[in-house]
C-alpha cells in the first residue's frame, strides 16, 4: 500500500453508533440508538462517599502508578462473586482489570489473532467486538443466533473448512439482539467445541440484569478449559470509570498481561480504588435490584408499545434481560431508509448493518430501552410506527 | 507457528522494569529503579476539592459513557497551554485524550505500523515505546543519542537503505538517559527529515520539569507538517488517572480516533472531569514550580553523591530536567551483574539492557531521582559505589 497508514487501520469500520449518536443530539429526538445505561440510576451519592474514603484512607497511593494486573481488592470482589453466582473458583491471579470490556476485546485480539486467523462471531454480533477484531485483520465466520441461542448446524458447518482460534459469544441478553442462549443450546455449543482447539470468549456485561426466567450456566462451567470470561462494571455501576475485567487461565493470562502493559501500563488506579470502596459498602446487589426494577418496566413498556404501534408484519425479540431488543422488518424494507425517515420524525435507533459483516442493507434494527423512561418509550415507538408506515407508502 | 498465540505477542518483551520492581519491594532496598513521580508532591487536597466540584456540578454526566475524543475542557486547556508555551495554535479537534501516553504509543503503532515497517528510535530508548511498537512487529533502527541530542551522522545513515515511517523522540530530559536535544541538534534532525516521507513523534512527558537551562523549541515548530506530539499529566499532576494526549493533524487524527474507539471506546470520563476542574483552579504552574524545586534538589543530591561515592572511571549525564540520569560504567563491567550485587547491598536501579534492541549485556544503567529524598539518595549512591567496588574486585 502507498498509504502512510497501516493496512489494519484501513480495514476497521468507524463506530457506526458513534456516528449515529451525532445525528441524534437534537434534544427533540427520542433516542433508542445508544447503549447507555440510565444515568438517573447511577449510585452517585455512594460513589461520592467511596471517593471521600479513598482520599482519606488510601490518599496518594490511589493516584500513583500501579500494577498492570489491577487492584487486589477489586479482583478479590470479582472472584468472590463468581464463587457466589456460579460456584466457580477463580483465583485473583486469573483476573486482569481492563479499561472497560472494550479493552478486553482489544487485548484478546492482540494476544491471539494473526492476519487471516479465523474467528467465529454471532450474527448479528456486537459491533465493538467486530471493530476490535478487525484491527487484527482476522477473518470473520458469522454464525446466526436465534431466540434460543446459536444456530448449531451453522456452527458445525464452520469446521470442516476452517480452524477458528476464537469464538466470541454474548450468551446473556445479547447485544444487539437481546436473545439468550438456552441451557440446552449452551450444551450443544459446548459439544461442538469440546474436542477442537478453540477458545470461547464469554462476554457477559448484562448477565446481572435478568428480569425474568432462570439464570443460566456460564460456559466456564461447561467448557472450563476453553473459556475466557469478560466482565464489566459499566452496566451495573457506571461506565465512565472504564472498568472491566478478563478471566483467563495462567498461560493465557501471562500473554494478556504483556499486551496490557504495552497498551496502557495499567488501568486508572483511582477509579479502581473508588470502585473497590463502593463495592465494599455492600449495597451492590440492592443497587442491581433497583436497576432491574426500572429497566424491566421500560422493557415491558417497549414491548407493549411495539405491539400497539408497530405493524403486525414486523417481528421482535422479547429479551429476558439486558438493554436491547431487536426488530425485523418485512424483507423488502431497508432499516437504513427507515432511519432517515425516523430521524425526521424525531426518533433514533441503530440500523442492523453494522452488526453484520459486509452488509450494507438489512431489514433489522436495534432498540435500546435502558435509557428512556416508560412514557417517552411509548411516544418514541409511536413515532417509529409512523415512520414505518411512511416508508411502506413511499415504497 | 503452532502456538495458539499471535506471532506479535511472542515478540514483545515483558516489562523489564516491572519485573525489577518486584525484586525491589523489600522495604530496606533504596530504589532508583522505578519511574515514579514523588507521591508526597501529589496535589491530593486540590484533587479532592476538584472531585467534590465534579460530583456537585457535573454529577452523573461525569460517570456516563462519553466521546472518544475526550473532554472538551481538558483539550481546551492543553491547546491554550501549547499556545502559551510555544505560541502554537493547536485546535482542540487535533487533540485526542488517551489513557496515558503509553496508550498514545499503542495507538500510533496500531495506526501506522505494518509488520516489518522501519521505525527510528533513540539508543538508549524509552522501553515503553519499544514494547508498544514491538507489538506491531516493526523493525527498529536505533540511532545513538549523545549529551546534546541525536547522532546526526547515524541518523542520515539510516536512509540510504531504509524508508522509516516513524521516528520516535523524547527530546527533553530523555528517558532513560536524561539528555536533551540542543536547539542546534533539533534543527539538524529537522534538516535530515524535512524532505522525507516520515513522521516524527515528539514524546514530551517531562518538558515542564526543567530545572536549569533554556526551554527549547518543539519539533512541531520546526517540522510542523511532520510532527505528532504526545503529552501527559502523569509527571505534572498524577499518573494514577492515566491521562495523556496526542496532537495530530486532521487526516491522522481521524485514523487515531478509530484506533481509540476499537481500543477502549474512550478515556475514563470521571478522571477527565476531575483533571479539568483541577486545572481550572489555576494553580497548575505553581504546583509545577513546587515539583521542580524538590526534584532539582534531588537531582543535585544525586550528582553530588555520584561525584563523592562512585569511582572516577564511570561517566554520567547531568540532566537539565526530568527524573532520570544515566551512568556508563567502564567497558568491561556488566550492569546486570552489578544489579545482583546492588540488590544484596539494598539498592536498585535499571540495568541498561532493556533500553537497547537485542542487547543482553551493557555497561550502562538508569537512575531515577524523583522518588527518593536527598538524604536517602546519598545513602543509596554510597551503596551503589560499594557494589561497583565489590564487582570490580570480583570481576
- Nearest chain A residue to B199, by CA: A4
**A 86-145 residues with CB below 8 A of B?**
98-100, 102-103, 106, 110-114, 117, 128, 131-132, 134-136
Q: Which chain A residues are closer than 8 Å to B7 by Cβ?
A: 114
Statement to judge: residues A270 and A167 lie in one domain:
yes
B163 and chain A in contact, CB less than 8 A: no
pLDDT value of position B395: 64
- Residues B98-151 have pLDDT tens digits of 999 999 999 999 999 999 999 999 999 999 999 999 999 999 999 999 999 999
Phi-psi region of A191 (alpha: psi -120 to 50; beta: other; left: phi over 0): alpha
3-class DSSP state for residue B339? helix
| pLDDT for B303 beyond 60 | yes
Contacts of A14 in chain B (CB under 8 A): 257-258, 261
Q: Are B255 and B59 in contact, with CB atoms under 8 Å apart?
A: no
Do B184 and B302 lie in a common domain?
Answer: no
A376 inside domain: yes
pTM over 0.90: yes
Calculate the CA A336 to chain-centre distance.
Answer: 22
- Of B280, B311, B339, the residue that ends a domain is B280
Length reported for chain B: 395
For residue A48, is it within any domain?
Answer: no
Cα-atom radius of gyration of chain B, to the nearest Å? 21
pLDDT in the model for residue A24: 61
Among the partner-chain residues A4, A111, A239, the one whose CB lies closest to the CB of B165 is A4
| Residue where a domain terminates, one of A240, A264, A280 | A280
Q: pLDDT means per 10 residues in chain A (395 residues)?
A: 78 68 77 94 98 97 96 98 97 98 98 96 97 95 98 97 96 98 98 97 98 98 97 98 98 96 96 98 98 98 98 96 97 93 95 92 96 97 97 79
Identify whether residues B99 and B189 lie together within a single domain: yes
In a domain, A294, yes or no: yes
Q: Which domain holds residue A298?
A: 7-42+286-394
| Beta strand residue intervals within A215-343, DSSP E | 227-232, 243-247, 315-316, 324-328
Judge whether B51 lies within some domain.
no
Closest to A369 (Cα-Cα) out of A310, A318, A335, A308: A318
Q: Give the β-pairing of A350-351 and A364-368.
A: antiparallel
Supply the pLDDT for residue A1: 42
Cβ-proximal residues to A318 (8 Å cutoff; 6+ apart), any chain: A178, A303, A325
Are A268 and A291 members of one domain? Answer: no
Has residue A56 been placed in a domain? no
Asked if pLDDT for residue B258 goes beyond 80, the answer is yes
In a shared domain, residues B319 and B180: no
Residues A114 and A245 both lie in one domain? yes
In this structure, is residue B52 part of a structural domain? no
Question: Do B261 and B169 reside in the same domain of the chain?
Answer: yes
Mean pLDDT of B292-320: 97
Q: Residue A240 is nearest to which of B98, B165, B269, comparing CB atoms?
A: B269
Q: Residue B24 has what pLDDT?
A: 61
B73 touches A98 (CB < 8 A): no
Shared domain for A206 and A336, answered yes or no, is: no
A254 lies in a domain?
yes
Q: Which whole-number Å values give the CA distances from A129 to A59, A109, B24, B261, in the listed order? A: 36, 9, 39, 11
Q: Looking at the structure, do residues A292 and A256 belong to the same domain, yes or no?
A: no
Residue A313 three-state SS = coil
Greater pLDDT, B320 or A10: B320
- What is the ipTM metric for this complex? 0.96
A87: left (phi over 0), alpha (psi -120 to 50) or beta: left
Specify the number of domains making up chain A: 2
Q: Provide the CB-side half-sphere exposure for B71 (13 A, CA).
A: 25
Pairing of β B324-328 and β B364-368: antiparallel
How open is the CA angle A357-A359-A363, to the nearest 5 degrees?
A: 120
Note whether residue B73 is domain-resident: yes
B chain contacts of residue A99, beta-carbon cutoff 8 Å: 99, 242, 264, 268
Flag whether residue A234 sits within 8 Å of chain B, measured between CB atoms.
yes
Inter-chain CB proximity A240 and B62 less than 8 Å: yes
CA distance A62 to chain B (A): 7
- State whether A65 and B6 contact (CB < 8 Å): no
Q: What pLDDT is stored for residue B9 in this prediction?
A: 87
Domain with residue B177: its CATH number is 3.40.640.10
Label the pairing between strands A324-328 and A364-368: antiparallel
Last residue of a domain, one of B247, B280, B313: B280
Same domain? A114 vs A220:
yes
Q: Cβ of B65 and A239 within 8 Å?
A: yes
CATH number for position A329 = 3.90.1150.10
B257 in the same domain as B128 = yes
A40 touching B (Cβ < 8 Å): yes
Q: Does B336 share its domain with B246?
A: no
Amino acid at each position: 500500500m502507498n498509504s502512510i497508514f497501516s493496512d489494519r487501520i484501513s480495514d476497521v469500520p468507524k463506530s457506526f453508533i458513534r456516528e449515529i449518536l451525532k445525528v441524534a443530539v437534537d434534544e427533540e429526538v427520542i433516542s433508542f440508538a445508544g447503549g447507555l445505561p440510565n444515568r438517573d440510576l447511577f449510585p452517585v451519592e455512594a460513589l461520592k462517599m467511596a471517593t471521600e474514603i479513598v482520599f482519606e484512607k488510601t490518599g496518594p497511593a490511589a493516584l500513583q502508578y500501579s500494577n498492570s494486573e489491577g487492584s487486589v481488592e477489586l479482583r478479590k470482589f470479582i472472584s468472590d462473586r463468581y464463587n457466589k453466582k456460579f460456584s466457580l473458583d477463580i483465583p485473583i491471579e486469573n483476573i486482569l482489570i481492563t479499561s472497560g470490556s472494550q479493552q478486553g476485546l482489544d487485548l484478546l485480539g492482540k494476544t491471539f489473532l494473526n492476519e487471516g486467523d479465523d474467528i467465529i462471531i454471532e450474527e448479528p454480533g456486537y459491533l465493538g467486538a467486530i471493530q476490535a477484531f478487525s484491527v487484527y485483520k482476522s477473518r470473520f465466520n458469522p454464525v446466526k443466533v436465534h431466540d434460543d441461542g446459536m444456530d448449531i448446524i451453522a456452527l458445525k458447518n464452520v469446521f470442516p473448512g476452517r480452524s477458528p482460534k476464537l469464538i466470541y459469544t454474548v450468551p446473556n441478553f445479547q447485544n444487539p439482539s437481546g436473545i439468550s442462549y438456552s441451557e440446552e443450546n449452551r450444551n450443544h455449543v459446548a459439544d461442538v467445541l469440546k474436542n477442537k482447539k478453540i477458545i470461547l470468549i464469554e462476554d457477559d456485561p448484562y448477565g446481572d440484569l435478568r428480569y425474568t426466567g432462570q439464570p443460566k450456566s456460564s460456559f466456564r462451567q461447561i467448557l472450563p478449559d476453553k473459556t475466557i470470561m469478560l466482565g464489566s462494571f459499566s452496566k451495573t455501576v457506571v461506565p465512565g470509570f472504564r472498568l472491566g475485567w478478563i478471566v483467563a487461565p495462567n498461560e493465557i493470562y501471562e500473554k494478556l498481561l504483556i499486551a496490557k502493559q504495552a497498551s496502557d501500563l495499567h488501568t486508572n488506579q483511582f477509579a479502581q480504588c473508588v470502585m473497590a470502596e463502593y463495592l465494599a459498602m455492600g449495597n451492590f446487589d440492592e443497587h442491581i435490584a433497583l436497576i432491574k426494577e426500572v429497566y424491566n418496566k421500560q422493557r415491558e413498556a417497549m414491548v407493549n408499545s411495539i405491539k400497539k404501534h408497530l405493524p403486525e408484519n414486523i417481528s421482535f425479540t422479547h429479551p429476558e434481560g439486558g438493554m436491547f431488543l431487536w426488530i425485523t422488518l418485512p424483507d423488502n424494507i431497508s432499516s437504513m431508509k427507515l432511519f432517515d425517515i425516523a430521524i425526521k420524525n424525531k426518533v433514533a435507533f441503530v440500523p442492523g448493518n453494522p452488526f453484520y459483516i459486509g452488509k450494507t442493507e438489512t431489514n433489522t434494527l436495534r432498540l435500546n430501552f435502558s435509557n428512556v423512561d416508560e412514557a417517552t418509550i411509548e411516544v418514541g415507538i409511536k413515532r417509529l410506527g409512523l415512520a414505518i408506515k411512511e416508508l411502506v407508502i413511499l415504497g
